[in-house]
């Protein structure tokens, strides 16, 4: 569908990058067209912020931001290089690339001199990306046992909800966006545990059905199934958001938690150096250390390749997982 062959409608805001000229189509097709142009919600938010930063820098320099030129982009990434991680620079260039692709304008990111500049930045500053650290299973068990979810027979909603977040995030290897999107009706309890059904994720943009299974633990204090059952019983409803805000005075709401709330809960209970992503990384690391093969891990994380499992595994200690221990010396 080429824009030069089909009349363009007025520019339409897609909730993604900016105003995009769309072909003149019916309302029904336009709905699907916009959906197709948009990516994952978190990625879109990051792209918008990156474009705003790029535009702000161009304004300060007195140069035109968009459409971009290789020369301006070269100056921009050179200014970023001493102060920003490679992953940030790469993502900001991706945002600029997508802006051009949506308008069917050749991307300046493909310029050979710009690519040479980027290679120089990589050699000078490196490309190592700081990953969310993983916590140990025993560390998490201790934290969970210390969370007091009841006082004099009265449930304490906020601590119990936080415990549910930590248990789901770790044993279910959920992303934070997946956690906040969960509804009560997606939980299916049985004698074996609970199966959680959901549709769509960061790597499943087409809404295919996915399932994750959680199992009973002999220790009720760290059991994800019993803790989840207790929480659902307190919600006193069979539909709607699973993880919700708690007002002061121990008052339940039906307001869904945000992505940022999940990270705040992890930092509050596990430590400031950890993030929401640490729960997922910790699941992969713990499972691998306990002998799980990649296919078993992928069944829960929904990764598509073993390469991603290796990327997620946090075997940080040089002594913890080292073939030098197996030399027989």
> Can you give the C-alpha Rg of the chain in angstroms?
24
CA distances from 52 to 46, 48, 58, 174 (A): 10, 6, 10, 30
Say how far apart CA 48 and CA 46 lie, in whole Å: 5
Say how far apart CA 190 and CA 221 lie, in whole Å: 19
Say how far apart CA 88 and CA 196 lie, in whole Å: 34
Three-state secondary structure call for residue 273: coil
Three-state secondary structure call for residue 151: strand
Instruction: Tell which residue, 321, 322, 320, 287, has the closest CA to residue 303.
Output: 287
By residue count, the chain amounts to 329
* Burial (0-12, 13-18, 19+ Cβ within 10 Å), 206: exposed
Long-range contacts of 8-16 (CB under 8 A, 24+ apart): 14/38, 15/44, 16/44, 16/47, 16/48, 16/98, 16/102
CA distances from 180 to 41, 140, 144, 318, 328 (A): 13, 21, 20, 35, 49
Record the tokens describing residue 31, joined without a space.
């709905």
| Active-site residue list | 175, 202, 277, 280, 303, 312
């Amino acid at each position: 569908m080429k824009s030069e062959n089909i009349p363009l409608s007025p520019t339409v805001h897609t909730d993604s990058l900016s105003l995009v000229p769309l072909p003149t189509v019916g309302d029904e097709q336009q709905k699907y067209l916009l959906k197709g142009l948009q990516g994952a919600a978190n990625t879109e938010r990051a792209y918008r912020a990156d474009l705003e930063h790029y535009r702000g820098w161009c304004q300060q320099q007195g140069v035109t931001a968009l459409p971009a030129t290789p020369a301006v982009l070269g100056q921009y990434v050179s200014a970023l290089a001493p102060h920003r991680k490679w992953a940030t620079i790469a993502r900001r260039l991706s945002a600029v690339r997508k802006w051009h692709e949506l308008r069917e304008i050749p991307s300046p990111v493909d310029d050979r001199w710009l690519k040479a500049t980027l290679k120089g930045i990589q050699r000078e500053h490196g490309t190592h990306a700081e990953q969310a650290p993983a916590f140990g299973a025993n560390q998490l068990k201790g934290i969970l046992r210390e969370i007091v979810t009841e006082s004099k027979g009265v449930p304490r909603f906020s601590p119990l909800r936080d415990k549910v977040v930590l248990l789901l995030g770790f044993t279910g290897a959920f992303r934070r966006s997946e956690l906040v999107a969960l509804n009560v009706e997606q939980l299916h309890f049985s004698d074996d545990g609970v199966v959680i059904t959901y549709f769509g994720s960061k790597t499943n943009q087409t809404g295919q059905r996915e399932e994750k299974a959680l199992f009973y633990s002999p220790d009720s204090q760290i059991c994800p199934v019993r803790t989840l059952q207790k929480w659902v019983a307190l919600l006193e409803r069979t539909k709607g958001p699973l993880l919700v805000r708690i007002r002061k005075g121990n008052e339940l709401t039906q307001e869904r938690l945000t992505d940022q709330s999940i990270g705040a809960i992890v930092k509050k209970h596990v430590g400031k150096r950890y993030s929401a992503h640490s729960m997922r990384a910790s699941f992969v690391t713990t499972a691998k250390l306990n002998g799980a093969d990649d296919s078993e891990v992928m069944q829960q994380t929904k990764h598509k390749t073993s390469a991603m499992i290796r990327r997620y595994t946090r075997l940080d200690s040089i002594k913890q997982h080292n073939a030098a221990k197996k030399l027989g010396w």
